[in-house]
Amino acid sequence: MSQPDLFVVCKNCGSEVSPYVTECPYCGQRVRKRAPKIERGGEGEPRKRTRKTRSLPKLRRGEIPGIAADTRPYGTAVLILISLVATIAWSTGEVTLIDLGAIYGPIDGEWWRVIAAPFVHNNAGYQFIALSAVGVFGTALERRFGWYVPVALFLAAGAAGAALSAATKMWPTMGANGAALGLLTAWYVEYRLTRNDDDADLIGLIVFAAVLFGLSVAWPPATIAAAVGGTAVGAVGGFALAQRSR
């Protein structure tokens, strides 16, 4: 491809003028009919395609990085709803607590009970305290990690607590005490390992933990074995979540 001259000479006045003008600026004589086109890019260089990169939207007011403030805690809500439905079913008198999954003796191969027992309650106060903790810490985990995290932790911690209670013959066993402590412990362990803000107010967490452990002693179906099993699973889950957050 030919390159334009650095300058041209006006035939009328002999001055050197730019090749990109059509008339001599000194005498007004026309030096060419039209100016040459300006070539863009080097010779033989193919045009590079530019990809449009997706950019994240700006944080909304009050939104914290890593936590979707507008996320609805559907997973946590479903866990609470299942427990409430089980209570309504029991209140009709058509089914018993044993039918719903409460453990009153050896499991004898009925392992589905360790999953079902955390959803069954025989006392409104016990249910309110346990499900309040599930709602608070389940929602906190769900907004940070997604709906499946509190669901998986609830099931794992609740099942571990129920299985440990059955293994140690602490009967009857039912309710979300162990599952709630699992969610609470998972949130706290992940928080301590990744954020650990000394200015954060942890009084609410301490109160919930004290009440839930106290409930294990005061109300037999909550069982201390369920509290220990659920807390252990929550600690492991919180550690795993912390590794994911780093």
Indicate which CATH number applies to the domain containing 228: 1.20.1540.10
What is the rounded average pLDDT for all residues in the chain? 85
126 and 197 both lie in a single domain: yes
At 56 the pLDDT is 46
Q: Give me the phi and psi of 66, to 5 degrees please.
A: 90, -5
Q: Which pLDDT score is estimated for 18?
A: 75
Q: What is the pLDDT of residues 179-194, one digit of tens each?
A: 999 999 999 999 999 8
Let me know whether 200 and 152 are in one domain.
yes
Lowest-pLDDT range of 4-8, 71-75, 157-161: 4-8
120 and 235 share a domain? yes
**Whole-number pLDDT of residue 36:** 65
Quick one: average pLDDT of 151-155? 98
Do 78 and 164 lie in one domain? The reply is yes
Residue 23: beta bridge partners? 30
Is residue 88, in this structure, part of any structural domain at all? yes
Structural domain range at position 2: 1-37
Residues 191 and 108 in one domain: yes
Q: What pLDDT, on a 0 to 100 scale, did the predictor assign at position 40?
A: 58
Same domain, 32 and 117: no
201-240-79 Cα angle (round to 5): 70
- 80 and 142 share a domain? yes
25 and 96 both lie in a single domain: no
How far is CA 97 from each of CA 80, 124, 172, rounded to the nearest angstrom? 17, 14, 10
pTM above 0.75, yes or no: no
Answer whether residue 80 is part of any domain.
yes
37 versus 100: the higher-pLDDT residue is 100
